[in-house]
Amino acid sequence: MYDVFQQYLDNKISLSDAQKERIRSLGVIKKLRKKQYLLQEGDIWKYDAFVVKGCVRNYSVDEKGNEHIIGFSIENWWAGDRESLLSGAPSRFNIDAIEDSAIVLFTHENFELICQEIPPFKDMVNSILQASFIASQNRIQVSLSNTAEEKYLAFLKKYPGFVNRIPQSMIASYLGMTPETLSRIRTQTIRK
Amino acid sequence: MYDVFQQYLDNKISLSDAQKERIRSLGVIKKLRKKQYLLQEGDIWKYDAFVVKGCVRNYSVDEKGNEHIIGFSIENWWAGDRESLLSGAPSRFNIDAIEDSAIVLFTHENFELICQEIPPFKDMVNSILQASFIASQNRIQVSLSNTAEEKYLAFLKKYPGFVNRIPQSMIASYLGMTPETLSRIRTQTIRK
DNA sequence: TGAAGGTCTTGATTTATATCAATTATTTTC
DNA sequence: GAAAATAATTGATATAAATCAAGACCTTCA
Here the ipTM equals 0.91
Distance, in Å, from the CA atom of B173 to the CA atom of B156, rounded to the nearest integer, reads: 15
Looking at the partner chain, which of A132, A134, A145 has a beta carbon nearest the beta carbon of B68? Answer: A145
On the question of pLDDT at B190 being above 70, the answer is no
Contact by Cβ (8 Å): B98, B170? yes
Enumerate residues near strand C (beta carbon within 7 A).
A 34, 147-149, 176-178, 180-181; B 167-169, 179-180, 182-184, 186-187
**Closest chain A residue to the Cα of B81, Cα to Cα:** A134
Residue with more model confidence, A170 or B65: A170
On the question of pLDDT at B127 being above 60, the answer is yes
Q: Give average pLDDT by consecutive 10-residue segment, chain A, 192 residues.
A: 95 95 96 93 96 95 89 95 96 94 96 96 95 95 92 94 93 96 87 52
Written out in words, the top-level CATH class of the domain with range A2-119 is mainly beta
Distance, in Å, from the CA atom of A94 to the CA atom of A38, rounded to the nearest integer, reads: 8
Contacts 24+ apart (CB under 8 A), A7-13: A8/A50, A8/A76, A9/A121, A9/A124, A12/A124, A13/A120, A13/A121, A13/A123, A13/A124
Looking at the partner chain, which of A60, A68, A141 has a beta carbon nearest the beta carbon of B70? Answer: A141
Written out in words, the top-level CATH class of the domain with range B2-118 is mainly beta
* Residue A147 forms contact with B (CB below 8 Å): no
Bases of chain D below 7 A from a protein C-beta are 7-12, 16-21
On the question of pLDDT at B71 being above 70, the answer is yes
E strands along chain B, which residues?
28-32, 37-39, 47-53, 55-61, 67-74, 78-79, 94-97, 101-107
Among B171, B166, B168, residue whose Cα is nearest residue B154: B171
| A101-107 and B67-74 beta bridge pairing | unpaired
Residue A191: the pLDDT is 56
Question: Mean of the pLDDT values across residues B161-184?
Answer: 94
Residue A188: the pLDDT is 81
Distance, in Å, from the CA atom of B47 to the CA atom of B155, rounded to the nearest integer, reads: 28
Count of residues making up chain B = 192
Interval B87-120: pLDDT, tens? 999 999 999 999 999 999 999 999 999 999 999 9
Residue A85: the pLDDT is 96
Distance from CA of A141 to the nearest CA of B (A): 6
Bases of chain C below 7 A from a protein C-beta are 7-12, 16-21, 28
Contact by Cβ (8 Å): A153, A189? yes
Determine what percent of chain B is predicted with pLDDT higher than 90.
88
Question: Mean of the pLDDT values across residues B54-76?
Answer: 92
| Structure letter (DSSP) for residue A52 | E
Q: In the sheet where A78-79 sits, what is the strand order?
A: A28-32, A101-107, A47-53, A78-79
